[in-house]
Amino acid sequence: MEDLLFKDSYGMELKPADVVREVVEYMKAAPSYSYKVIIGTDSEMLQENGADFVTAIVVHRVGNGGRYFWRQINDGKFFTMRDRIIHEVMLSLDIAKAILENFQEALRGMKWDFEIHADVGQNGPTNVLIQEVTGIIRANNFTAKTKPESYAASSVADRHC
């Protein structure tokens, strides 16, 4: 994952370790707030069954805005919506596992939660995937959020697809 660069909201490229540093500095700048660190991925189908995936790392200063970082990859061919959605979740989980330990170490004593946002919801064709997707996320010991609460995937990541 270290070779995949993220961008901040201004388009500046950052290594994953730099993203962690930026998030930690942002949170430590106002330690009295509660925070949510959220990861979500969205995708867009391309020609010939290709797919473009955008993963967002969002740090939400509850009640007072936030920051986000994102990366985009073109990652193989997907013939079903289910396979593409599961791949979105797996990309989010990979990032979560890679960075969570760094956050836990750097943010001891602060109030923060960690969530994975999945781009599935009760309305539309993804409703049949909600249990499967949330089950995968929970099996990896993360809190799962779906639409309309999954703004890291359905709004932030979607913005860059």
DSSP string across 17-72:
HHHHHHHHHHHHTSTTS-EEEEEEEEEEE-GGGEEEEEEEEEEEETTS-EEEEEEE
Q: Is residue 146 part of a domain?
A: yes
| Rounded Cα gap, residues 56 and 72, in angstroms | 9
Q: Which has more pLDDT, 4 or 110?
A: 110
Matching residue, tokens 């867009």: 44
pLDDT confidence tier of residue 141, bands split at 50, 70 and 90:
very high
pLDDT reading at 27 higher than 90: yes
pLDDT (tens digit, 9 = 90+) per residue, 40-57? 999 998 888 889 999 999
pLDDT reading at 2 higher than 60: no
Q: Is residue 25 part of a domain?
A: yes
Q: Is residue 15 part of a domain?
A: yes
How many domains in the chain? Answer: 1
Q: Is residue 98 part of a domain?
A: yes
pLDDT confidence tier of residue 109, bands split at 50, 70 and 90:
confident
Q: Is residue 1 part of a domain?
A: no
pLDDT reading at 158 higher than 60: yes
pLDDT of 101 reads 85
Question: What percentage of the chain reaches a pLDDT higher than 90?
Answer: 81
pLDDT reading at 3 higher than 70: no
pLDDT of 30 reads 96
N- to C-terminal Cα distance for the chain?
A: 20
Burial of 73 (0-12, 13-18, 19+ CB in 10 A): middle
Q: Is residue 82 part of a domain?
A: yes
pLDDT of 50 reads 85
Domain with 129 in it: 6-159
The pTM (predicted TM-score) of the whole model is 0.94
